[in-house]
Amino acid sequence: MKTILIIGATGAVGSQLLAQALRHHQIARVIAPTRRPLQGHPKLVNPLIDFEALPAEAPWWQADIAYCTLGTTLKQAGSAQGFYRVDHDYILHVAELIHAAGTQTFVLNSTLGADINGFGLYLKTKGETERDVGALGFTSLILVRPSLLAGAHRSDKRTGEAIGLWLNRYVGHWIPIKWRAIAVDKVAETMLSAGLAATPGLRVIESAELHTADAQGN
């Protein structure tokens, strides 16, 4: 029976991950620090946090597995600096605290095409986050790189995402598998399974693998 930690439990993938974890027979306790309270559950521990003032010595940083689905958009963040602060600085600081507490398995939701030399702020930031989290020395590090997310309940309007999902809906069979939209619950399921089955070293799960049963450990 595992204790897991979820960072970003209120987001599209994170909320799915939380729901699946609370139902999972191998998980005894789910720690989900958030800025606003979550609905109560017997398995759930829900510390309220401020990402600008995280408690370094909190005992709940220690878990069997840590999952991070934290992220924002340039529009939500308001600036390139604000976006980088959330998608790089917040994630790296959380990972540092988690590693320092003794948690040895870290599963990060990244993105297709993440690369420090990638095109544009988004891909470069994701690539730098992967690189810097990887340098912390987790025994098991799993990077999940989904393409466009389908089935996400957004509070904001994302025109580019809507166009991409429309194309996937009507001409998806002509789109290469790695570029096809992937359901948020499938991403969460893959993350959960990969963390529970973690082996030492680095594992990168690309978007194409998310569409296969192999990614689920079946």
Q: How far is CA 164 from CA 148, 150, 167, in A?
A: 7, 10, 5
Q: How far is CA 209 from CA 45, 68, 144, 164, in A?
A: 32, 19, 10, 20
- Residue 132 in tokens: 């810097």
Q: Please count the CA atoms within 13 angstroms of the CA of 21 that sit on its side-chain side.
A: 34
- Residue 48, beta-bridge partner list: 34
Longest dimension (CA), the chain: 51
CB 14 within 8 A of CB 6: yes
Find the catalytic residue in 122, 124, 170, 178: 122
Q: What is the CA radius of gyration of the chain?
A: 16
Find the catalytic residue in 67, 84, 90, 126: 126
Q: Is 170 in the active site?
A: no
Q: What share of the chain is helix, strand, coil (3-state, %, to 5)?
A: 45, 20, 40
Q: Is 126 in the active site?
A: yes
Q: Which phi and psi angles does 5 have, rounded to 5°?
A: -120, 130
By annotation, the residues acting in catalysis are 122, 126
